[in-house]
């Protein structure tokens, strides 16, 4: 990203570090949400923010630092795979909760 640095050599690093810090904050928000929300489905909502945005921003920040290299593409691939796996896992957990609720209702 040298074209961005013509006046400020530290700009790449500053952008990258800001993105990484934001990502870490989203992870913390996900954990806090997991602890504080009252219901399984709301906790699920908090968790997906950590998964998608947290990992995404961290990968984006590291990729920004790495520049236009295979490393950046590998990081992007990691994020895409994490999106895929966490979407399916959280979707299945939500289904599990709904099935359990339906079973409880049938039992009453």
Partner 1 sequence: MIDWSSWLFDGLLAVGLLLLAWLTVISADLFRAILFFIAFGLFMALCWARLAAPDVALAEAAIGAGISGALLLDAYRVLSAPTLAAAPALSRLPGLLALLLGGVTGALSWVFWRLPPPVLALDELVQARLADSGVSNPVTAVLLNFRGYDTLLEAAVLLLPLVGVWIINRQTPAPLESIPVGVTDSPLVDTLVHLVTPLAVLSGAYLLWAGAHQPGGAFQAGSVLAGAGALLLLSDRLRPTATPQALLILGLILGLVIFCGLALGVMADGSPLLRYPPAHAGLLILVIETALTISIALTLLLLVSGAAGLRWGRRW
Partner 2 sequence: MSHSAFYLLVAGFLLFSLLLGLARIYLGPEPASRLLVAQLFGTTTAAVLVLLAEAMSLPGLRDVALLFTLLAAVLGVAFVRLSSPGRETPP
Other C-beta atoms within 10 Å of 5: how many?
12
Decide: is 4 part of the binding site for partner 2 (CB under 8 A): no
**Least distance CB 59 / partner 1 (angstroms):** 17
Which one of the spans 21-29, 42-50, 65-73, 87-95 is the region binding partner 1 (CB under 8 A)?
87-95
**Least distance CB 6 / partner 2 (angstroms):** 22
Q: From residue 73, how far is each of 21, 57, 66, 80 by CA, in Å?
A: 21, 14, 10, 10
From the centroid of its chain, how far is CA 34?
14
> Which positions from 66 through 85 interact with partner 1, judged by CB under 8 A?
81, 84-85
Decide: is 108 part of the binding site for partner 2 (CB under 8 A): no
């Amino acid at each position: 990203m040298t074209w961005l640095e013509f006046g400020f050599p530290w700009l790449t690093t500053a952008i990258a570090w800001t993105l990484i810090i934001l990502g870490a904050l989203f992870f913390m928000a996900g954990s806090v949400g997991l602890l504080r929300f009252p219901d399984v489905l709301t906790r699920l909502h908090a968790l997906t923010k950590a998964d998608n945005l947290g990992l995404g921003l961290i990968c984006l920040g590291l990729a920004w630092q790495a520049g236009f290299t295979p490393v950046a593409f590998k990081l992007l691939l990691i994020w895409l795979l994490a999106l895929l796996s966490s979407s399916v896992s959280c979707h299945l957990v939500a289904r599990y909760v709904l099935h359990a609720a339906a079973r409880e209702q049938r039992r009453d």
